[in-house]
Chain A
Amino acid sequence: MHPELRSGNANNADLPAISLRGISKRFGAVNANSDVDLSVACGEVHGIIGENGAGKSTLMSILYGFYEADSGSIYRQGEPVVIRSSSDAIACGIGMVHQHFMLVDNFTVIENVMLGAEGGFSLSQSVSKTREALQGLSDQYGLAVDPDAMTGDLPVGLQQRVEILKALYRGAEVLILDEPTGVLTPQEVKQLFGILNTLRDQGVSVLLITHKLQEVLAITDKVSVMRAGTMVAERLTAQTSKEELAELMVGRKVLLRVDKTPAAPKQSLLDVVDVSWRDARGVERLKSINLQLRAGEIVGIAGVSGNGQTELLELLSGISRVQQGYLDVCGTRVDAQTLQDAKAFRQLGVGHVAEDRHRMGMVSAFSAKETAIMGFQNEVEFRASGLAGSLGLMSSAHVTRYCESLMAQFDVRPADPNLKSANFSGGNQQKLCIAREMEREPKVLLVGQPTRGVDIGAIEFIHQHIVKLRDAGSAILVVSVELEEVMSLCDRIIVMSEGRIVGELSASEADASRLGMMMGISSTSERLS
């Protein structure tokens, strides 16, 4: 698998480097890919764009052997190939650079590059062989990295370069880059584009998965647009525009109708003032966020996931601490000096439906009734009566009755409080989680991905309840990657990108392509006003 062993592709240059025909893949009831065709020529930078869940990642996972397609076939330079594992993919000359790097931090660059492709017993022999090959690759593609540097010490841009070298060292002629610019600074993005240009000149095909329209326009030769598991369009980059791509990406869907009257917002219940937040590694995830939630309105946050929405929700629900700026939660000021946790926020009247119920919002191993009291486990109404209660015993009967009433109100099926939470369908799990939070009539309700993994019938039901709570005078913040949902449900829409609020629209002025373009704003481009 060394570069010198690669067969030249000069004689089949007219055959596509990779073509996929009729690829379909289902996960349970979800059609992740249906009948997808894709063809990438040699020496072509091919962009694949689409919203979250459009099926880009699934398609690339099939190509790289993580999943096997249910049907369809893959051709490499016209020859049919079967790819069952990533080693099959590597053997076919396909390399992948993941969004989250697969590098060993305390290995040197050279050790990372040869890891898994050492060959032979003697390590020093393979090191010197790798060193030579690495030198060759660096010269050929202009990918200079110090081979003896400790990988963890390198800046992100150079680590990515190591990933690319790793793929090339294994003989990759088709390179898949999954959201490569998400972690890069603008300068590093420029350098990456330089590298991609060199790769193209050397005949390497690059598949670039991204949601940033500017980047697609800047670097690719061709763009394929995916939506809801299907390939909806293919355009030559030179002949398309940002507006057209945005529209293709989000499509003109039939709007979900949510029955609601115009909002009549009243007093402010939650103020976010100049809040910035860094994660444990020091990366700034939220940048000077200013936001106001008023009683009787639903504010939606649109954006591609991973642009700070999760961090914002966790901050507003007390799960992570305020570092800079402050919050005003129903009249109580919360800043870096006040130590508050999720319990305190609940007492202030903040309800929180977690974005990812499996990670946070419920415990799969708990029975439904145990999930139904999460966050409220200390409430007096769940205690046993008399002495047993003051000793800390809970009343199983009270909890069961409570859970039954939630299940009845929110039509959770099967209405069995003793069934394990994991055994409910996604929609019913979500209904239970929402019921739990709404039952307490929170002044502020934060809802992350209200209808993720939820069937159509339940979506409508959940939306109706959210509107009902709004009309009862609560302030509601909805975070969703589903534009359609944000547009139909919310009264006011805020768009987040890279930890910033990049725009705000009222529901009436929002349309999919405008939102799509705002979502694609990156620090490499100018901010829309």
Chain B
Amino acid sequence: MSQKRLPVWVDIVLIPLINVLLAFVVAAGVIFLIGESPIEAGKIMLMGAFGYDEGIGYTLYYTTNFIFTGLAVAVAFHAGLFNIGGEGQAYIGGLGVGLLCLALDAWLPWYLVLPLAIIAGGLFGGLWAFIPGYLQAYRGSHIVITTIMFNFIASALMVYLLVNVLIEPGAMSPETRRIAGSTTLPFMHDVFSAMGIEIASSPLNVALFLALLCCVFVWLFIWYTRWGYAIRMIGFNEQAAIYSGINTRRMVVLTMCISGALAGMVGINEVMGAQERVVLDFVAGAGFTGIAVALMGRNHPLGIIVASLLFGALFQGGAELSFEISTITRDLVVVIQGLVILFCGALAYMVRPSLERIFKRAVAEDKS
């Protein structure tokens, strides 16, 4: 049945808030069951994520990745495509960034390499999404299946490349050599110290600004360009798009390429920024978290920033928590993150019917 009308702020603010609270209530129950104080744990998480400058640095560093992958999922979603392949697209995008940086780091400084690296990461990530997009548009293979499979292919490909091809000669671990320091992105703590402000070091780098720029780009692209217009029309009503003379197949492929390119930007933050080389599995699940981020952020760049911040805080605060309380292991922190994803992503509309009833009653009482 069609959705009943609720005030806009309920959909955008209240429902996500209730979902997050529900997730925390259940998580508190779990922590209570293993004999620790949920309030204490909550305090540690909050302080760990926002309480001191290193913690904030890590939180924002995670946030950067989630913004990229969240935007990637959102763009595809506007065309009605469910891109599950952010993980693989980010991985391959990172490969592109890494190859370019390794090729140029002897000659060019970072600010000249960065635009090229963005193009390389976008091309590689976009290519990894182009294939599923093409298969969906012209061969009818379902995008969900193909993008999932492409995650595995990307993973296997990267293991092969890092173990056999790109590994630094003589090294033991499967990773490339370090990118020369002049070509890696400046860390925020270096930027701040150049301005005379000393903050603790963290992997946070200037890729955060790129993430914010991407938000502006997606916002303009989806709502203010004719391609965005076509993408949204396909997502809302494909028949209407065909009626309007839009080449829906070509638009599906284009949308996937842009989505993959956005996911590929994770490579800028990780390879060119935090890790300074290509390592195994540097995406670390950011591609999947991006799905929850996009769902929670309702596919709008502003919402995605807020949701990314929440998940960034969960990752950083969770790490702190497992460090501080020995009975709360790393796995339990994953459980807490999983609960948030469950309530905000999978069960996003669980409370909607009850809210509808409450509001209907409230309106009825207003009238009487």
Contacts and interface: CB of A to CB of B under 8 A. Distances in A.
A342 B242 contact: yes
Given A374-B244, A375-B244, A377-B244, A392 B225 contact: yes
Contacts of A344: 245
Nearest to B233: A363
Contacts of B247: 341, 343
A277 B185 CA distance: 60
Interface in B82-138: none
B237 interface: yes
B134 to A, nearest CB: 19
B141 interface: no
Contact of A359 (B226, B229, B239, B244): B239
Contacts of B293: none
Interface in A352-391: 352, 354, 359-366, 370, 374-375, 377-378, 382-383, 391
Interface in B235-265: 236-237, 239-240, 242-247
B226 A378 contact: yes
Contacts of A1: none
Interface string A329-349: 000000000000111111000
A352 B230 CA distance: 19
Nearest to B237: A363
Bin the interface of chain A by size.
Answer: 20 to 34
Contacts of B225: 391-394
A363 B246 CA distance: 14
A393 B245 contact: no
B334 interface: no
A440 to B, nearest CB: 13
A342 B243 contact: yes
Interface in A67-82: none
Contact of A365 (B226, B236, B242, B244): B236
Given A341-B247, A342-B243, A375-B244, A364 B236 contact: yes
B135 to A, nearest CB: 20
A393 B229 contact: no
A374 B237 CA distance: 12
Interface in B3-36: none
Given A341-B247, A359-B239, A360-B243, A394 B233 contact: no
A359 B240 CA distance: 7
B209 interface: no
A365 B229 CA distance: 12
Contacts of A342: 242-245
B245 A346 contact: yes
A469 B220 CA distance: 38
A354 B226 contact: no
Interface in B43-72: none
Contacts of A317: 243
A184 B230 CA distance: 40
Interface in B202-233: 220, 224-227, 229-230, 232-233
B2 to A, nearest CB: 10
Which of B226, B230, B243, B246 is the most central at the interface, judged by chain A CB atoms within 10 Å of its CB?
A: B243
Interface string B254-278: 0000000000000000000000000
B233 A341 contact: no
A366 B235 CA distance: 11
A396 interface: yes
Given A364-B236, A366-B236, A394-B225, A354 B243 contact: yes
Nearest to B221: A392
A264 interface: no
A392 B240 contact: no
A228 B242 CA distance: 34
B337 to A, nearest CB: 32
A360 B227 CA distance: 19
B242 A394 contact: no
A319 interface: yes
Contacts of A359: 237, 239-240
B226 A392 contact: yes
Given A366-B233, A366-B236, A352 B243 contact: yes
Nearest to A341: B245
A319 B233 contact: no
Contacts of A377: 226, 229-230, 244, 246
A416 to B, nearest CB: 17
A391 B242 CA distance: 24
Nearest to A344: B245
Contacts of B226: 377-378, 382-383, 392, 394
Contacts of A393: 220, 224-225
B48 to A, nearest CB: 41
Nearest to A382: B226
A361 B240 contact: yes
A429 to B, nearest CB: 13
Given A363-B237, A393-B220, A393-B224, A370 B243 contact: no
A464 B300 CA distance: 44
Contacts of B246: 343, 377
A360 B236 contact: no
A45 to B, nearest CB: 37
A363 B242 contact: no
Contact of B229 (A319, A364, A394): A394
Contacts of B232: 366
A345 B237 CA distance: 20
A364 B244 CA distance: 14
Nearest to A346: B245
Nearest to A354: B243
Contacts of A361: 240, 243
Contacts of B227: 392
A342 B233 CA distance: 15
Contacts of A375: 243-245
Given A360-B239, A394-B224, A343 B233 contact: no
A343 B246 CA distance: 7
A398 B54 CA distance: 48
Contacts of B244: 342-343, 374-375, 377
B362 to A, nearest CB: 22
A346 B245 CA distance: 8
Interface in A270-286: none
Contact of B240 (A341, A362, A383): A362
Nearest to A347: B245
Contacts of B245: 318, 341-346, 375
Contacts of B220: 393
Contact of A319 (B230, B236, B237, B243): B243
A16 B247 CA distance: 58
B229 A370 contact: yes
Nearest to B248: A341
Nearest to B239: A360
Contacts of A363: 233, 236-237, 240
Of all A-B residue pairs in the complex, the 5 with the closest CB atoms, nearest first, are: A343-B245, A342-B245, A375-B244, A392-B225, A360-B243
Interface of A: 317-319, 341-346, 352, 354, 359-366, 370, 374-375, 377-378, 382-383, 391-394, 396
13 contacts: A317-B243, A341-B247, A342-B243, A342-B244, A359-B240, A360-B237, A363-B233, A374-B233, A374-B240, A374-B244, A377-B244, A393-B224, A394-B225
Given A361-B240, A377-B229, 18 more contacts: A318-B245, A319-B242, A319-B243, A341-B245, A341-B247, A342-B244, A343-B244, A359-B237, A360-B239, A360-B243, A365-B236, A365-B237, A375-B243, A375-B245, A391-B225, A393-B220, A393-B225, A394-B226
